[in-house]
Structure 1
Amino acid sequence: MPVLANTFSKCRPMSTDTALPLAYELHEPSGSKTTQPAGPPILFLHGLFGSKKNNRSISKALARDLSRPVYALDLRNHGESPHHKQHDYLSMAEDVARFLSQHNVKEPTVIGHSMGAKTAMTLALKSPDLVRDIISVDNAPVDAILSTDFAKYVRGMKQIDNAGVTRQADADAILKDYEPSLPIRQFLLGNLHRPDRNSPQQKFRVPLDILGRSLTNMGDFPCKDPNAVRFEKPALFIRGTESKYVADDVLPLIGQFFPKFRLVDVKAGHWLISENPEAFREAVLEFLRNPY
């Protein structure tokens, strides 16, 4: 259950001077080489332990349905993007702001799930001129106690790293002691790769020590005072009905930070994009086709 923090401190100003370049995949609308896109680009930001490849199918679907290009990003310390010891929402929002500048992306829609949702919210609140609208997927602008599952995942993944596994089946057998759900294990094991082409040994691509130390940061939200920062443009909050990340008692605070927000409930847990992709797609299409 989210725990509201005091609302008096302000978050530090954003700067792109120390931001990292982010890896990405660009999904173009069908026939975009001969026709103009129907709207500005969409940025898709994944959650903790995710990557751009997790959102590949839904990104292609949105590009097709909306005739808008979709950039699926790897946030810092994930996928093919650089690693850095600083892992918090202001730093990740700064990375995204740098990406927008480097790729000349003007006023995009920013969609984020979980960690990506708080990154999108931070960017919108700190630099509203950079963003057209946002879609937050199963997270809220509050300080919360992060689920203990994530700490367990880090321990299990470290055990796999130390075991010198050469097959994903062996890694999965270890991870079963930490997570009973096969889809979640498959999601986490998607981070395995072979760093040495001459060795069959598999390791995790994500820096487990950095992310393990940053779990508290992932529960926090850097902007505390809705009287100091507010996003006056459209915002959609999609929450899973079987998830506790966006409880009813945080809705008033969402409204203070995002006064033009809408709420859509999807029958799913926290991983709602993969659990109920069609309901998620329909909610996104309805919002982006009729944002006001």
Structure 2
Amino acid sequence: MGACAPPSLPRPPAVEHGATTLALRRPEPHWRHSPPPAAQKRWQPPRSVSDDRCGAGTEAQAAAQNRARAERRRPNSQTLGRPLPLSYSLLDGEAALPAVIFLHGLFGCKTNFNSIAKAFAQQTGRRVLTVDARNHGNSPHSPDMSYEIMSQDLQDLLPQLDLVPCVVVGHSMGGRTAMLLALQRPELVERLIAVDISPVEGTGSSHFPAYVAAMRTVNIPDGLPRSHARKLADEQLSSVVQNLAVRQYLLTNLVEVDGRLAWRLNLDALAQHLDKLLTFPQRQESYLGPTLFLLGGNSQFVHPSHHPEIIRLFPRAQIQTVPNAGHWIHAERPQDFIDAIRGFLV
């Protein structure tokens, strides 16, 4: 769910309003980021720092980032069943407007939405938050992985940042996390947008267990130059993951730690709990807030047979389809994606 968006997301064009381009009327939004791991034990306001995935910086900064990644990957039994301090990036905007939260899919990270977030902040003036789920991106690792605990992570983070109630947009795995958050804590969610996913198990994600197994078997000898190591990993994945764009996306999770390449995903936790992530928890309550299910016209993830359960849990749900888009609508049709969300927020 959410695995296969192309690694580089095209920057959406500005939305034209008459003769005026809205994006040019607003200043460049200012990114704020989650505190580094050493500071997360004692909460501090987010500081302006570069995102450590995109990483142009000094060698000392790169070394510090690698150490931080390694520290986040150390299992800690004390984190079981407890919220984790998630890695996030926040674009400033008008406090009077509900913030917009973007949640990525399985194998993804917050930077999947960088271009979308920046365009959305410029065009709407809203605060925009992108978040790494636990065991993904630059968020901490934990043996615990479920929609319930990922919802709890957000219940902890969003009030800390004074962003509630907010609009929650979740793609695939992130969409199910957003659904559960809205069902459990409706007062935190002003509106809900689930992108190409439903609360019903489908067949679109049936290949994900094979992806996890293939990633776990990748073997890269120490001492290889980075370019050679990535090429070797690509070759080892190719027998299972035959789509080049999918492999390239999975390989964005291969990062340098202590001088060697390693997966920043917690593959052990994903493998252990993947069956839970491919389904949705049984719930009896409903979320009565405005809800949009935004589907790709070429995607097979949401079937018409899912609609009754969607309406049972989300009685005010609208279902909208983006033509000529697959599962990764935000990457394949970025401006249509932004326009659909803006239209829903009006």
**TM category, shorter:** 0.7 to 0.9
**1:236-274 CA distance string (max 9 Å, x none):** 101112222211111121111111111111122212211
Query: What TM-score do the two structures reach when normalised by structure 1?
Result: 0.85
In 1, are the aligned partners of 2:205 and 2:301 still within 8 Å (CA)?
Answer: no
Query: What TM-score do the two structures reach when normalised by structure 2?
Result: 0.72
Shift, 1:154, TM fit: 1.2
**1:261-292 CA distance string (max 9 Å, x none):** 11111122212211221221111111012xxx
* Equivalent AA in structure 2 for residue 74 of structure 1: D
Instruction: Give yes or no for the alignment of 1:58 onto 2:116.
Output: yes
**Further displaced range: 243-252 or 154-163:** 154-163
Instruction: Give yes or no for the alignment of 1:230 onto 2:286.
Output: yes
1:65-76 equivalent positions in 2, closer than 5 A: 65-76=123-134
Shift, 1:235, TM fit: 0.6
1:107-118 equivalent positions in 2, closer than 5 A: 107-118=165-176
Match of 2:298 among 216, 220, 242: 242
Counterpart Cα distance in 2 of 1:249 and 1:155: 30
In 1, are the aligned partners of 2:171 and 2:195 still within 8 Å (CA)?
Answer: yes
1:142-153 equivalent positions in 2, closer than 5 A: 142-144=200-202, 147-153=205-211
Structure 1 residues 169, 258: closer, same or farther in 2, change over 3 A?
Answer: same
Structure 1 residues 179, 92: closer, same or farther in 2, change over 3 A?
Answer: same
* Equivalent AA in structure 2 for residue 284 of structure 1: I
Correspondence for 2:29: none
| Aligned residue pair count | 262
Correspondence for 1:207: 266
Match of 1:281 among 334, 338, 342: 338
* Equivalent AA in structure 2 for residue 181 of structure 1: N
SS in 1 for 2:325: coil
Root-mean-square deviation (CA), in Å?
A: 1.9
Structure 1 moving runs of 4+ over 3 Å? 143-146, 161-166
Correspondence for 1:11: none
Gap regions ≥5 residues in structure 2: 1-80
Counterpart Cα distance in 2 of 1:192 and 1:235: 35
**1:99-119 CA distance string (max 9 Å, x none):** 012212220100000000000
Correspondence for 2:197: 139
* Equivalent AA in structure 2 for residue 281 of structure 1: I
In 2, are the aligned partners of 1:255 and 1:261 still within 8 Å (CA)?
Answer: yes
In 1, are the aligned partners of 2:202 and 2:302 still within 8 Å (CA)?
Answer: no
* Equivalent AA in structure 2 for residue 207 of structure 1: N
SS in 1 for 2:338: helix
In 2, are the aligned partners of 1:161 and 1:204 still within 8 Å (CA)?
Answer: no
Shift, 1:223, TM fit: 3.0
Shift, 1:222, TM fit: 1.2
Shift, 1:182, TM fit: 2.1
In 2, are the aligned partners of 1:87 and 1:210 still within 8 Å (CA)?
Answer: yes
Correspondence for 1:257: 313
Shift, 1:181, TM fit: 2.0
